[in-house]
């Protein structure tokens, strides 16, 4: 019985055209993934900026909701002290503005 003339190596190698097609689809997939990932980071960044700004805009309401007191009450004696120090400062460095 004659020997069969078969293929050497048993496994067939892929041609160049299919390999380049596979690498192209892989790079397209990875660029699509990175694009969607960067979009996600941009959206998260915008949300964080919005929350940061909203915190400072609504700070008085937030303080009231949690029961923190507003410490901006200034009694008349403190106010007199502030004015006296300011008057001394103006007398020393800018006497022209003392009348204002």
| Residue 16 structure tokens | 């160049």
Residues 17-28: pLDDT tens digits?
A: 555 455 555 556
Q: For the whole model, what pTM was predicted?
A: 0.42
Residues 84-98: pLDDT tens digits?
A: 999 999 888 888 877
**What is the rounded average pLDDT of the residues 32-61?**
93
Q: What's the rounded Cα separation, in Å, for the pair 12 and 18?
A: 13
User: How many Cα atoms within 13 Å fall on the side-chain side of residue 74?
Assistant: 9
Q: In which region does residue 82 sit, left (phi positive, over 0), alpha (psi from -120 to 50) or beta (all else)?
A: alpha
């Amino acid at each position: 019985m004659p020997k069969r003339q078969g293929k050497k190596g048993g496994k067939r190698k892929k041609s160049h055209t299919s390999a380049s097609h596979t690498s192209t689809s892989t790079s397209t997939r990875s660029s699509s993934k990175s694009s969607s990932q960067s979009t996600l980071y941009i959206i998260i960044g915008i949300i964080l900026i919005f929350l940061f700004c909203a915190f400072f805009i609504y700070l008085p309401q937030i303080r009231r909701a949690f029961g923190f007191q507003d410490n901006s009450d200034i009694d008349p004696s403190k106010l007199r002290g502030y004015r006296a120090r300011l008057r001394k400062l103006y007398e020393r460095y800018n006497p022209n503005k003392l009348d204002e």
